[in-house]
Structure 1
């Protein structure tokens, strides 16, 4: 059984407290049986409210594992071959005076 969330606990507790106070003040009962009946009905109402609070939706990353990264291989590019005859020759200049 999953644990209740903080929102469910808060809404259920507030419902029990406020509905008990409201029913006791409106009914103005002083008998033990009336107080017990009001308390039990407030607890049932609080439980109903706590159960019907919408649960948070699971995040997409938690629901499904992330796909494995695709390994990318760099493409080899063809280079133009230069013949030895067309290659530039080093320039030699005569030494200065």
Structure 2
């Protein structure tokens, strides 16, 4: 089994601490048994986040790369700066009052 990356350790640790505090504050429990249940739940949640977070990021990168490759293959590249300058620009600012409202007083 590969070693966890620093990002995985950080994601998991932050999840455990924050979820434990949130569940303890929201439940307002004083019983030792329920505290153990909350801590175990937080540890399981932290493990789940640590294992799945980098996988989700890698999937997102793969989707972006596939989309870029598909766009490049179809020839639909992003507009160049010269093409962006050719687009019409609106020079007049929109009026503050709607048409017909200026005559009413």
- For residue 8 of structure 2, what is the aligned residue in structure 1? 8
Aligned-residue CA RMSD (Å): 1.4
* Residues 12-63 of structure 1, C-alpha deviations (whole Å, 9 max, x = no match): 0000000000000000000000100000000000000000022586xxxxxx
Choose 1 or 2 for highest CA Rg.
1
Q: Which is bigger in relative contact order (C-alpha 8 A, separation at least 6)?
A: 1
Q: Which runs of 5+ in 2 are unaligned?
A: 59-105
- For residue 60 of structure 1, what is the aligned residue in structure 2? none
Which 4+ runs in 1 deviate beyond 4 A?
Answer: none
TM, length-normalised to structure 2: 0.52
Q: Which runs of 5+ in 1 are unaligned?
A: 58-97
Count of aligned pairs: 57
Match status 1:17 vs 2:17: yes
Q: Which structure shows the higher helix fraction?
A: 2
TM, length-normalised to structure 1: 0.56
